[in-house]
Amino acid sequence: MKQLEELDISQNSFYGEIPDQIGNLVKLVQLDLSFNSFAGHIPNTIGNLYNLNGLMLNDNNLTGNIPQEVGIDLSCNLLSGEIPKELTSLAGLNLLNLSRNKLTGDIPYAIGNLTQLESLDLSMNQLSSSIPQSIASLDSLSVMNLSFNNLSGQIPPGNQLQTFNDPSVYEGNPGLCGPPLSKSCSSGGSFNPELVENTHDDEVDDMIWFYVSMILGFVFGFWGLVGPLLFKTYWRYRFYGLVDRIQDRVL
């Protein structure tokens, strides 16, 4: 069994946990356990399968985190946690499907290291933050789906990403903006530090001018009333007389 290079037991009714002993099949190149009823965690021993370039575990009931060394197709499970950065070290990977799970956190920037990647599906998770610019460097990428997550910010420009002109690739991410979406980033679809700084400066300037105008108004108003009383004797007598008459009426 240790010399086995391909194991396909897909589309059966197997259930229970994937045994740790699977990691003893060190010659394994293809492993397909999809469309069964396997449950529990993915055994870390799969990381011992260094020759593995095809792993299909989709359409099971697997839970827990994704082991660092596991890739390929893990869609339609209950996997949680962040996408392990170590996954991006599988340079020969040509398909990565983690869709329909409960993954959180960012898309690793090092995903740009997967230069052979042809298909990437991270849809229907809870991924957040922005789409890393490094995805634009995946020249072999022909299929991509990032829909229905919590991604935000501007969709990175780049020759390869420009080929994905179908908005459905990004739908379900209200915080995303820029082509091919109709939402423009200039209308508040992305965080722009320079814009925030300029707005803050404008608010400070407005506040300064408010206080300056208030002080000037007080100064001119004060001297407009008191100045004539100080320098014009006639006006001073008339003012004091007016005050006395008002006081007599009040009392």
Q: Which spans in 91-192 are helix H?
A: none
Is the pLDDT at 32 greater than 80? The verdict is: yes
Contact 60, 33 (CB under 8 A): yes
Per-residue pLDDT tens digits for 182-192: 888 875 444 44
Residue 127 has pLDDT above 90, yes or no: yes
Pick the closest to residue 171 from 183, 187, 184 (CA basis): 183
State the Cα–Cα distance between residues 8 and 218, nearest whole angstrom: 87
Predicted local distance difference test score (pLDDT) of residue 248: 62
Residue 204 has pLDDT above 50, yes or no: no
**Measured in whole angstroms, how far is the alpha carbon of residue 140 from the centre of its chain?**
24
Report residue 70's pLDDT band, with 50, 70 and 90 as the boundaries: very low
Specify the pTM: 0.55
